[in-house]
């Protein structure tokens, strides 16, 4: 809910990419206050029909934007060098998935068990954004504890997809993806444990990147699976995603898994020219894994991906078929490792230290009641699976074996890199966004929607989803997978794809749901679910 204290300036600023916003801020054609107001106006008018947001602090956003304007005015007075010294995200609104800590603000992780909790400190990525001068708009909706692929598992209700308000945006970072697609924020952060950035990016027609494991600190992030979780950017174009990654990446001593690997400054200098960007594709060797065109993949999705691959080939890329033979084991391996780590991480929610606390009797009764009422069905399902996998007599058979297979999945990619392939190109998801309720009663069917993204997390590699076209009027994502720490090279390839498809007709199509959202006529997603007969959660 937004407390409306000041008049809002309604402009078209919110439709600009972040790099164009940055240019307008430096020339004085726009102010950070105007940018923030333009986005707040859209959120207030449209989010009833979208439900991408869980918390927006209007007063805090306005104050931060005014501070950014003071710094910008001082830099303009000091001359071009001072302006050039500002980070490209200075004054730019950013959305955060609601498992990222912002000091003094609520952090729900989409769960009722964290009701009433306020973060006592900033996450590392929040600190980095503040240091860059970005303006944090608020927190976006998500599947509870990032467990889900549709954002239907949020305890606070589902989020709609701007391309079809009766469909899911993907998940678990569905709120961030929908907010960017609907022009509620130019860029956003999500987390990716098994595809939770790339899959919703594909379904919402935006760019989404999972960095190499360890590239971005997880300090201050509500944990799901500690060996898999990674924070990454959403944007409407590749250059903006690169700038956001630059702002948040780097070593953090508070996170032992954060790697001391330099952040390349080239992230801020991807080519603006389409001709220059497309030239990055010439001579690049791309591997097309046969295993990623899985049984059950929608024909329209496969056709769009193959057309996109043909476009890369026409631009000078060398595309060759490769094999990643242990891909078929990725889904089963993930659903041993991730629930096992989740069961350990979620043990801390006991009703004693923070969040929901139910008093039903003695200590054990309180503990059981708090967790019983605080966690939703998907979280309970994964805790049970994970606890079983870690239990005496089953640890070696399940968790130990899964870790061995995980090593084999990583070895498959290592063999591809050793053959001279520069990047792997594949579908992001086997299908387009589905209707509310369509997969809720069949968890395995929902798990299968991440089959193309899970191996990247198991191997700790960087991956990015970029829009590739439309199937049945809905977005399809093309996934690029790179070598460890190869984010810059991957983003250059993604920018090249963006360049060679710049004139494609599908790029001119606006998400059809935006008109209803802007008119304020769209029912809430919860009302749509009820009307569609999707059932009660």
Distances in Å between the Cα of 84 and the Cα atoms of 38, 80, 133, 210 are 25, 6, 13, 28
| Rg of the chain, C-alpha, whole Å | 22
CA distance 143 to 139: 13
**Residue 97 known to be catalytic:** yes
Distances in Å between the Cα of 207 and the Cα atoms of 174, 375, 378 are 13, 31, 27
The one catalytic residue in 111, 150, 154, 196 is: 196
Strand (E) or helix (H) holding 513: helix 513-518
Distances in Å between the Cα of 94 and the Cα atoms of 134, 185, 289, 489 are 7, 6, 35, 24
CA distance 43 to 251: 34
Residues constituting the chain: 537
- How many helices (H) and strands (E) the chain has is answered by 19, 11
Distances in Å between the Cα of 38 and the Cα atoms of 62, 106, 200, 215 are 11, 24, 24, 32
The one catalytic residue in 101, 154, 172, 471 is: 172
Q: Which of 486, 426, 485, 489 is nearest to 453 (CA)?
A: 426
The DSSP string of 147-191 is --SSSTT-TT----BTTBTTB---SSSHHHHHHHHTTS-SEEEEE
Strand (E) or helix (H) holding 476: strand 474-481
Q: Which of 247, 298, 249, 283 is nearest to 268 (CA)?
A: 247
Using a 10 angstrom Cβ sphere, with 0-12 exposed, 13-18 middle and 19 or more buried, the burial of residue 321 is exposed
What are the residue ranges of helices labelled H in 419-474?
443-447, 454-459
CA distance 232 to 159: 20
Question: Contact 53/526 with Cβ under 8 angstroms?
Answer: no
Q: How far is CA 339 from the centre of its chain?
A: 20
DSSP 468: E
* 3-state SS record for 301-322: HHHHHHHHHHHHHHCCCEEEEE
Q: Is 367 helix (H, G, I), strand (E, B) or coil?
A: helix
**Residue 227 known to be catalytic:** no
**Residue 226 known to be catalytic:** no
Q: How far is CA 103 from the centre of its chain?
A: 21
List the structure tokens of 518: 């802007």
Using a 10 angstrom Cβ sphere, with 0-12 exposed, 13-18 middle and 19 or more buried, the burial of residue 479 is buried
Q: Name beta bridge partners: 208.
A: 234, 465
The one catalytic residue in 97, 139, 210, 439 is: 97
Q: Which of 98, 97, 103, 113 is nearest to 354 (CA)?
A: 113
Catalytic residue list: 97, 172, 196
């Amino acid at each position: 809910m937004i407390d409306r204290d000041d008049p809002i300036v309604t402009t078209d600023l919110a439709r600009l990419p972040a790099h164009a916003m940055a240019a307008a801020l430096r020339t004085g054609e726009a102010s950070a206050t105007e940018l923030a107001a333009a986005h707040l106006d859209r959120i207030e008018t449209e989010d009833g029909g979208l439900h991408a947001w869980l918390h927006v602090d209007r007063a805090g956003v306005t104050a931060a934007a005014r501070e950014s304007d003071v710094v910008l005015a001082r830099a303009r007075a000091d001359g071009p060098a001072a302006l050039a010294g500002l980070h490209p995200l200075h004054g730019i609104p950013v959305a955060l998935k609601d498992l990222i800590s912002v000091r003094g603000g609520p952090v729900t992780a989409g769960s009722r068990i964290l009701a009433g909790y306020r973060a006592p400190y900033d996450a590392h990525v929040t600190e980095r954004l503040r240091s860059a001068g970005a303006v944090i708009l608020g927190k976006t909706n998500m599947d509870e504890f990032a467990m889900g692929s549709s954002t239907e598992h949020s305890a606070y209700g589902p989020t709609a997809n701007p391309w079809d308000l009766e469909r899911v945006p993907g998940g678990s970072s569905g709120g961030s993806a929908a907010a960017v697609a609907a022009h509620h924020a130019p860029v956003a952060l999500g987390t990716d444990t098994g595809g939770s950035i790339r899959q919703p990016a594909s379904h919402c027609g935006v760019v989404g990147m999972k960095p190499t494991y360890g590239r971005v600190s997880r300090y201050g992030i509500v944990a799901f699976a500690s060996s898999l979780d990674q924070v990454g950017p959403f944007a409407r174009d590749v250059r903006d995603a690169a700038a956001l990654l630059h702002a948040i990446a780097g070593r953090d001593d508070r996170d032992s898994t954060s790697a001391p690997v330099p952040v390349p400054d080239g992230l801020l200098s991807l080519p603006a020219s389409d001709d220059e960007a497309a030239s990055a594709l010439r001579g690049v060797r791309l591997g097309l894994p046969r295993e990623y065109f899985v049984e059950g993949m929608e024909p329209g999705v496969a056709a769009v991906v193959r057309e996109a691959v043909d476009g890369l080939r026409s631009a000078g890329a060398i595309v060759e078929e490769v094999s990643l033979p242990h891909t078929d084991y990725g889904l089963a391996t993930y659903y041993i490792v991730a629930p096992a780590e989740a069961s350990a991480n979620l043990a801390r929610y006991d009703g004693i230290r923070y969040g929901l606390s139910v008093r039903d009797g003695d200590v054990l009764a309180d503990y059981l009641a708090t967790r019983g009422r605080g966690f939703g069905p998907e979280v309970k399902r994964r805790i049970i699976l994970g606890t079983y996998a870690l239990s005496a007599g089953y640890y070696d058979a399940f968790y130990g074996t899964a870790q061995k297979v995980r090593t084999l999945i990583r070895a498959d990619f290592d063999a591809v890199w050793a053959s001279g392939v520069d990047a792997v190109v594949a579908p992001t998801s086997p299908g387009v966004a589905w209707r509310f309720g369509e997969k809720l009663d069949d968890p395995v069917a929902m798990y299968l929607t991440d089959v193309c993204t899970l191996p990247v997390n198991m191997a700790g590699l960087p991956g990015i989803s970029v829009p590739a076209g439309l199937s049945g009027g809905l977005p399809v994502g093309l996934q690029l997978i790179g070598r460890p720490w190869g984010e810059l090279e991957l983003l250059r390839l993604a920018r090249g794809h963006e360049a060679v498809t710049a004139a494609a007709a599908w790029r001119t199509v606006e998400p059809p749901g935006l008109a209803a959202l802007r008119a304020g006529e769209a029912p809430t997603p919860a009302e749509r679910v009820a009307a569609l007969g999707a059932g009660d959660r």
